[in-house]
Amino acid sequence: MPTNQELLELEAHRGEVADLDLARMVRRAADGDPSAWRGLVDKYSRLIWSITKDYKLVESDAADVFQITWMRLLEHINRIDRPDRVASWLATTTRNECVRYLTARKRLVVAHEDVLLDHLAEPGADVDEGLLAQERAEGVRAAMELLPWRWRRLMELLMSDPPVSYAEISDELGLPIGSIGPTRSRCLARLRTLLEAS
């Protein structure tokens, strides 16, 4: 029967082997090996999802953070100094992305009520706000018509009332759930470009 010291040495050796295997997997993924990427995703997806739950992100934001975290790893995998610590890198990146999403959602302008009330109803406005809103809406509709059908349909589903879940969108459009958020971002960027050009 092995002694406690031998058991500790055996456990330490197993940890070293696991670290070597992980470092090897990260290096293979950096070289573009799809099975290594699948292995990393299988191994660490639950970690990323659990962090997004800790930050209480809505489903769509959590899916965006999940996708962006893997994109960040893809962009930086060749620069990771300690491949055996990729779990820490992923956890830190996920937390940073969660904070970025929460910060973007909570951008508020704080002002005193009396300041708001002083400028709320200034007499003599020559421009009809309803007419301007209608023109903007027509511009957006025209720009939407210039988008590819799949992007147009994605935007319609995302803006529908009641909201459509990412799972339903994925089924209808054949998009992976993790790519819906980044595709939405590309759609919005293209719409902005089209609207600025018009």
180 touches 166 (CB < 8 A): yes
Domain 129-197 fold: Arc Repressor Mutant, subunit A (1.10.10)
- Give the Cα separation of 41 and 44 in Å (integer): 5
5 pLDDT tier (thresholds 50, 70, 90): low
Q: Which helix (H) or strand (E) holds 40?
A: helix 34-54
- Give the Cα separation of 129 and 135 in Å (integer): 10
Hey, where are the domains in the chain?
A: 10-105, 129-197
Establish whether the linkage from the previous residue to 176 is cis, with ω within 30° of 0.
Answer: no
pLDDT (tens digit per residue) in 117-169: 555 555 545 456 767 777 777 888 888 888 888 888 888 888 888 878 889 98
pLDDT (tens digit per residue) in 76-106: 998 888 888 899 999 999 999 988 888 877 6
Domains 10-105 and 129-197 share a fold: no
pLDDT (tens digit per residue) in 23-74: 899 999 989 899 999 999 999 999 999 999 998 888 888 999 999 999 999 8
Residue 116 has pLDDT above 80, yes or no: no
pLDDT (tens digit per residue) in 161-189: 887 888 998 999 998 988 888 888 888 88
CATH code reported for the domain at 10-105: 1.10.1740.10
Q: Find the angle CA(25)-CA(34)-CA(148) to the nearest 5 degrees.
A: 140
84 touches 19 (CB < 8 A): yes
4 against 99, higher pLDDT = 99
